[in-house]
Amino acid sequence: MSLAARIAWDDTVLPFQLDRADIRGRVARVDTVLDKILGQHSYPAPVAALVAEAALLAAMIGQTVKLRWKLQIQIRGNGPIRMIAADYFAPEKEGEAARMRAWAAFDVPELEAAAGAAPIDLLGEGLFGLLIDQGPGTSPYQGITPIAGGSLASCAETYFAQSEQLPTRFSLAMGEATEPGGETAWRGGGVMLQQLPKGSPSAVQEASGPDGLLAPEDFLDGDDAENWTRARILLDTVEETELIGPHVGAETLLTRLFHEEQPRIFDAQSVEFGCTCGPEKVVDSLASYSAEDVAGMVTDEGVVTADCQFCGAHYEFDPKDLGRQDGDGGE
């Protein structure tokens, strides 16, 4: 299949619903976006793998937030990889693309000393958090659960079970692929399933998830349990080449996996790389600093510099333009 045909479903999130099973879901492809995110940095392989996984999760979970809202996934650990953050900015208007970015912090010597460890183990003990920011004048919603399971996808499944009481399942694939002509680029794809919310869900059995936490199946019995098990088994048949290969579009994949579940497909949401950094945000962030504080940030060249961790943008400022200005109420 030609590149022109393939991009028809690249960088999109396709929502769907399985009417027979009362389950909703999303199919995501974030190829150009993922390549742009990881192209900003030279991450070691295990760090890049976790950033890619977090970005895929953000794309699928973020598709549900309302216009102009922001969703952030943040994972903090005490291991060689300190933090993974992935942001999803919902479109400003209907029909526009959502924007995404992601970033990681890690300790190089510790990472090198732990060579060969699974990426998730390099986070150590820590927290998986999800934050939804509804905009000015509102208080962000935040939920936090421990890092648990063998992947960020399993952490997200545990989060939804523990914090939202929503059975959720992910199947993800990501990696570098060689395009015609020898160029290497990142590709990522995934499918998310989630039980439609019930009135007041509660566990029907003791927690069976990792580290004694709730698992998706702990909330289900009767027809719901049967429907969830059937959909999960069907999802488990998906192949990596179907998630990130060039020959299977999102609608074709849904038909192959769930044709007996009566999949209903909604409008796809396009996504693109986007960062919200800018010189005015740096100025605002330093507005409470005293002149003495700002002076301590000045380089040998006589300027104050700032670099965006997400997109790598570099900013330089005259120190006289930063910090508290006369009349700001400083001491």
Cα separation values, 219 from 262, 267, 308, Å: 24, 30, 42
Distance CA 219, CA 202 (A): 6
At a CB cut-off of 8 Å and minimum separation 6, what does 18 contact? 24, 25, 193, 231, 258, 261, 262, 263, 264
Q: What mean pLDDT is predicted for residues 33-37? A: 93
Tokens of 66: 């309302």
| b/e 53-74 (16+ beta carbons within 10 angstroms → b) | bbbbbbbbbbbbbeeebbbbbb
Distance CA 59, CA 154 (A): 16
Q: Is the pLDDT of residue 150 over 50?
A: yes
79 compared with 290, residue with greater pLDDT: 79
CB burial of residue 200 (10 Å; 0-12, 13-18, 19+)? exposed
Q: What is the mean pLDDT of the chain?
A: 88
DSSP state letter for 161: I
- CB atoms closer than 10 angstroms to residue 162: 20
* Confidence at 330, pLDDT banded by 50, 70, 90: very low
Q: What mean pLDDT is predicted for residues 6-30? A: 89
Domains and CATH numbers, the chain: 3-273 (3.55.30.10), 279-321 (no CATH)
Q: Is the pLDDT of residue 91 over 50?
A: yes
Strand partners, 138: none
182-215: per-residue pLDDT in tens?
Answer: 778 899 999 999 998 875 555 566 777 777 787 7
Q: Are 34 and 10 in contact (CB under 8 A)?
A: no
256-293: per-residue pLDDT in tens?
Answer: 999 999 899 999 999 999 988 777 887 887 787 888 88
Distance CA 192, CA 156 (A): 11
Distance CA 155, CA 146 (A): 8
133-148: per-residue pLDDT in tens?
Answer: 998 888 889 999 999 9
Rg from Cα positions in the chain: 22
Q: Which residue, among 150, 217, 193, 162, has the nearest Cα to 61 in the 3D structure?
A: 193
